[in-house]
Amino acid sequence: MSSWFDDLKTPRFKGESQSRVAKVPEGLWGKCPNCGEIMQTKQLQENFSVCSECDHHLRISAKDRITLLTDEGSFAPYGEDFQSNDPLSFDDQKPYKLRLEQAMKSHQMNDAFLAGKAKMNGVPFHLGVFEFKFMGGSMGVVVGEKITLVLEGALNDRIPAVIVSASGGARMQEGILSLMQMAKTSAVIEKMREQGIPYFSLLTDPTTGGVAASFAMLGDVILAEPRALIGFAGPRVIEQTIRQKLPEGFQRSEFLLKHGFVDRIVHRKDLKSELHTLFTRLGNRCDF
């Protein structure tokens, strides 16, 4: 004999009740990692992937970043055929070659960096953007070479360069060869400085390790997005090393601005107009 509780648990029309269960398509909703606000993905995209509730800047893809900063259809990529040849035959939990193949297939990119020539409100410039989801945006030989192409392209064409950083640093699977990219990219920036060609660095969440310790902090003007994590080592590592408690927000862009390491914090929706203004004011030695 069934109880009243069993009757409540069992749907009267089994087939009908199951058919009425709505299947929500994947990717329809997004959640802010800062405040937990649930938002429609479309609404989030229309708001430049910035939370409408707390103004938190969510991480965005390299392709979305290019769409945000360039005139429609103006981005002409280069260096897309570059690929790492795994110089150290590195193998940890899985072979480096396999990691690369999986990342390339997943993100439809040859490495963690997109490079190209584009226009911003009609002004030509060279642009490089990190893809953090590709092996943590780590910098190996291919990424370093593409960064160099961006900087040398700007130098040769006498137009500005913009690099948008979102990286965990140098790629350990390529050892000393990845560390060499720090010096190589920095050397080209010095040549640009001698010629008066402006280089603008945009720091986004996160910008750390060997990327933060080289070209990312060498811009003629260094911009950052709000609350971006910026630093060399992580806060836990630093605290364990110096055995002291770090100040609140120690590695956030606001702290760096206060202490003179960043020139300006710019809301994502204002980045294009801010960079265009910098182009026109600091590009007096450029050939526009």
CB atoms within 10 A of CB 282: 17
Q: What confidence score (pLDDT) does residue 10 get?
A: 52
Q: Higher confidence at residue 129 or residue 236?
A: 129
What are the tokens at 129?
């953007």
pLDDT at 43 over 80: yes
Which pTM does this prediction carry?
0.89
CB 102 within 8 A of CB 85: no
List, in order, residues 6 or more apart from 211 with CB less than 8 Å away: 130, 137, 139, 165, 167, 168, 169, 170
Quote the mean pLDDT of the chain.
Answer: 92
For residue 257, count CB atoms less than 10 angstroms from its CB and return exposed for 0-12, middle for 13-18, buried for 19 or more: middle
Question: pLDDT tens digits, residue range 180-210?
Answer: 999 999 999 999 999 999 999 999 999 999 9
CB 139 within 8 A of CB 107: no
What's the sign of the alpha-carbon dihedral 237, 241, 243, 244? Answer: negative
CB 227 within 8 A of CB 253: yes
Cis peptide before 206 (omega within 30 of 0): yes
